Amino acid sequence: SQTIHQWPATLVQPVGSPLSLECTVEGTSNPNLYWYRQAAGRGLQLLFYSVGIGQISSEVPQNLSASRPQDRQFILSSKKLLLSDSGFYLCAWSVVFNQPQHFGDGTRLSIL
């Protein structure tokens, strides 16, 4: 069966520091991969999605970037974190676009 892993589970970073969050999927090949941010009490905002290695689409302009160096690996990065980058970051995968997305357990990012 397929599994998705995200790490770290929680992260506290100072303003201006870099960021790297990692997501890996097991048990499937060539998945669609997604990064979401969830603000407290809000729904999920799609940040990036990827249909294959090296293929990244950005949904909203922001201080973050994404990369897909391997088929089942998706990385969320920033060179200099802002206070507004705080939130709960979720990685998800799907077989194809019109199939349900399955989420990891998320990373709670706090910026000080």
Q: Nearer Cβ to another protein, position 37 or 75?
A: 37
CB of 97 to another protein, least distance (A): 4
Nearest approach in angstroms of CB 14 to another protein is 23
Tell me if residue 56 falls in helix, strand or coil. strand
Q: Which is nearer to another protein, 42 or 80 (CB)?
A: 42
Q: How many CA atoms lie within 13 A of 20 on its CB side?
A: 3
- CB nearer to another protein: give 39 or 53: 39
Distance in Å, CB of 90 to another protein, minimum: 5
15 contacts 78 by C-beta, under 8 angstroms: no
Q: Does residue 70 contact residue 59 with C-beta atoms inside 8 Å?
A: no
Q: Using CB under 8 A as the criterion, which residues of the chain lie in contact with another protein when the complex forms?
A: 6, 32, 41-44, 46, 49, 59, 90, 92, 97-98, 100-106, 108
The kind and range of the H/E element at 89 are: strand 87-94
